[in-house]
Structure 1
C-alpha cells in the first residue's frame, strides 16, 4: 500500500492543517477520516469559508432561525453558529492537541475576529477575549490580522494567555514585528509570574497572492523568468528571520520557562495561476517547525500527485537574490505588500458582509438586500 503523500509531509517536521470547515465535514466523519488518513493536525477558518458554508447549505437554517428569535444582531448570530462548529472541531482535534510527546504542539482550530475590526486595536482585543471565552477550549486559536493596529492586540492577547493565529501577513518587516509582539506578550506573562508553556501562536504568511500581484510587473521589467518565485523567496526569507528571532538570548530566557516558538504558517497555498503546478506552494516550502494550511482541492491534489521532500531551506542565498533583483528592477515590495494587506482585508470584509446579508435575508425573507 502506498504511503499517503500528505501524511509524509509530517516526516519532514511540518504540520498540515485544513483550510476549511463546515458542519457537513464534521458531522459526516470526513474530518475525522482526514485526521486519521492524511494526518491533518489542525483547521483554519475565515469569513469567506464560513460565508460559503452558511450560504450554500441548509445545515445552519434552524439555528439561525432560533437565534434570531432572541433578538441578537446578525453578527452575533453568525458568531454563535461559528463558535458551535469550532467547538465541535476542537473536540475532534483534542487527541492531536493532547498527544503525550508534546502537549499543544498541534490540534488547533482557528476562529477569526470580525474583519471589520482590522484597523481597530481595542475592538479587536475585546472580541478576541470574548471569542476565547465563548469557545472555551485550550486548542482554539483566535485569528487576529497582522495589521499595524493588530500588533498591540496580538501582544495583549498573548499576555493574557490567548492562543493567536496572526493572519494576513505579506511583508518580511511586518512578520518580524509580529514575532516581536509574540515575544513581548510572553515577557509580560513571565513578569507576572504566569505560565508560558500552554500559550501557542502561528504567524500566517500568505503566498500565492504575492505572485498574482507581482508577476505582471516582472513581465513588464523583463524578469519573466522570475514569475511564480517571489512568494516562495519571501517565505524562505521569513523562515531565516524565524530562525534568527527564536535563537536569541532574549528568546532562550523565555524558552527556559517553557515558551514555544511562534511557528510560521504558510497560507494562500492554492495555485491561482493555471500555468503553475497545483501543488507548487506546498512542495516548495516543506520544512521543519512550520505549518501549511491547505484548502480541500489542494489537499486532494497533493494526496494524488504531490512530491513530499524538505525544500524550505534550499538555497536561501538564491531566494535573497531573487528579492534583490525585484527591488533593483524598481518594483517596490513595500508598496506591493501594503496593497496586498488592504486587498486582503477587503477580501474578508466582502464575504463577511455577504454572510450578514444572507442571515438577514433568511430571517426576513421579504427584505430586499
Structure 2
C-alpha cells in the first residue's frame, strides 16, 4: 500500500515541508521525508528560523564564529540561514535535476520581514540573497504586498526563482500572476532565457477561516464555517487556469516558461473541531504545491485521504463567496487585514530572533 502522502504526488501536486532546522537535516529525518513521503521541497520563514535558532545549541558555534565579521544581528542571522538553505538545496539537488529539470526540489528563503512594504529594499536584498545562496534550486520569498509587486517583477526579470508569500485575496493573487508574466516578458525583451525560472504564489488558507468563521457563527451561518478559505483557493485555481493559457502566455511557454504554480500555505487546521488534514485533502490537484507543517504530514501519513479534489464543487465555491457578500462580509477588507497581521506575525518573531542572537553573542 503506497504511503498516503506520496499518493498526493500521483495527482500532480507536490508536497513541500514547511519547516527547517539543522537537526532535521543532520539526523537524516529530512532525507527520510524525501524517500518515504515523497516530500519535494522546503519552505522557511522568520518564525521557523526563530524557533530553530532559539530552541537548540546547534547554532552557537556559528554565532561565535560570525559575530566579529557581522555588522548587524540581521547580517549574522542571514549567514546562519544561508548555510541551512544551502545544505537543504544540496539535499534536494537530485530531485531538482530530475527530468524535466527544475520542476521541483526547491528550498525557500525569505527576505527580511522588515522590508515587506519597501520595494527597493526588497529587490536589493532578494538579489543579494540569491547570489549568496548560489544554488539554482533556491527560491527567494517576497511578500505579495502592493510594494512587493514591482520587486517580484524585477526579480523575475533578473532570473531569480521567486516564492510570492502572504497572499490572502483573489485580486492580489491576480496582480501577482501579472507581475510574474510581466517579469518574464521583460527578461525575454532583454534577450535572456526564461526556461530556467520557477515561481510559486503562496495562498494562505486556514487564517482566512480563523477570521471569517466567528463572523459566520454570529450570523447563525454555522454550515459555512471552514468553507471560505477552500472556496477562495478553488477560485484562485480558476484564475490560474485562465492566466496561464491564451495567446499572451503561449508566447512565453513557447520559449520554455513555466506557469507560476499556486502553493497552498497555512494548511494545518487551526480549529480543533476540524479534521487535522482538512485543508490538505480539499485542495489536491495538478500543477500545485502544498507546503505542510511536519505534524500535518505525519497526520496525513496516518489517516489522510488522497484524491483529486481541487476542481470539485467549483459552483459551490462561487456560491459560498457570493453568499458571504450578501451577508455583508467584506472579504477584501478581511484579506487586507490578514496581510497586515501577517507582516506583523513575521516581524515579531524576527525581532525576537535578532534579540536571541544578541543574547547568544553575549554568552559566547
How do 1:51-90 residues align onto structure 2 when only pairs under 5 Å count? 51-90=50-89
Which residue of structure 1 lines up, in the alignment, with residue 199 of structure 2? 201
Gaps of 5+ in 2: none
Partners of 1:44 and 1:363 lie apart in 2 by: 27
Partners of 2:246 and 2:79 lie apart in 1 by: 42
Partners of 2:65 and 2:362 lie apart in 1 by: 13
Partners of 1:357 and 1:328 lie apart in 2 by: 47
Q: Is the 8 A contact 2:140 2:163 kept in 1?
A: yes
The one-character-per-residue Cα deviations of 1:231-277 (angstroms, maximum 9, x if unpaired) are 00000000000000001210000000100000000000000000000
Shift of 1:98: 0.3
User: Does the residue aligned with 1:364 lie in a helix, a strand or coil?
Assistant: helix
Partners of 2:94 and 2:360 lie apart in 1 by: 37
The one-character-per-residue Cα deviations of 1:181-212 (angstroms, maximum 9, x if unpaired) are 00000000111111111000000000000000
Which residue of structure 2 lines up, in the alignment, with residue 300 of structure 1? 298
Shift of 1:365: 4.3
Which residue of structure 2 lines up, in the alignment, with residue 104 of structure 1? 102
Partners of 1:254 and 1:138 lie apart in 2 by: 21
- Please identify runs of 4+ aligned residues in structure 1 that moved more than 6 A: none
Partners of 1:71 and 1:239 lie apart in 2 by: 43
Which residue of structure 1 lines up, in the alignment, with residue 335 of structure 2? 337
Partners of 2:266 and 2:81 lie apart in 1 by: 21
Shift of 1:224: 1.2
Which residue of structure 1 lines up, in the alignment, with residue 245 of structure 2? 247
How do 1:23-34 residues align onto structure 2 when only pairs under 5 Å count? 23-34=22-33
Which residue of structure 2 lines up, in the alignment, with residue 10 of structure 1? 9
Partners of 1:79 and 1:202 lie apart in 2 by: 22
Which residue of structure 1 lines up, in the alignment, with residue 49 of structure 2? 50
Which residue of structure 1 lines up, in the alignment, with residue 92 of structure 2? 93
Equivalenced residues, count: 364
Q: Of residues 313, 318, 321 in structure 2, which corresponds to 1:320?
A: 318
Partners of 2:313 and 2:300 lie apart in 1 by: 24
Does the C-alpha gap of structure 1 residues 275 and 213 become closer, same or farther in structure 2, counting only changes over 3 Å? same
Q: Is the 8 A contact 2:70 2:76 kept in 1?
A: no
Q: Does 1:35 align with 2:34?
A: yes
Partners of 1:112 and 1:77 lie apart in 2 by: 15
Partners of 2:252 and 2:69 lie apart in 1 by: 46
Which residue of structure 2 lines up, in the alignment, with residue 259 of structure 1? 257
Shift of 1:72: 2.3
User: Does the residue aligned with 1:123 lie in a helix, a strand or coil?
Assistant: helix
Q: Of residues 254, 264, 280 in structure 2, which corresponds to 1:282?
A: 280
Which residue of structure 2 lines up, in the alignment, with residue 271 of structure 1? 269
User: Does the residue aligned with 1:21 lie in a helix, a strand or coil?
Assistant: coil
Which residue of structure 2 lines up, in the alignment, with residue 161 of structure 1? 159
User: Does the residue aligned with 1:148 lie in a helix, a strand or coil?
Assistant: coil
Partners of 2:188 and 2:160 lie apart in 1 by: 15
Shift of 1:222: 2.1
Shift of 1:221: 1.8
The one-character-per-residue Cα deviations of 1:150-174 (angstroms, maximum 9, x if unpaired) are 0000000000000000000000000
Partners of 1:318 and 1:362 lie apart in 2 by: 53
Shift of 1:65: 1.0
Partners of 2:306 and 2:68 lie apart in 1 by: 50
Partners of 1:71 and 1:319 lie apart in 2 by: 50
Gaps of 5+ in 1: none
Partners of 2:69 and 2:233 lie apart in 1 by: 46
Partners of 1:3 and 1:362 lie apart in 2 by: 45
Partners of 1:364 and 1:118 lie apart in 2 by: 29
Normalization by structure 1: what TM-score? 0.98
State the superposition RMSD in angstroms.
0.8
Partners of 1:120 and 1:265 lie apart in 2 by: 24
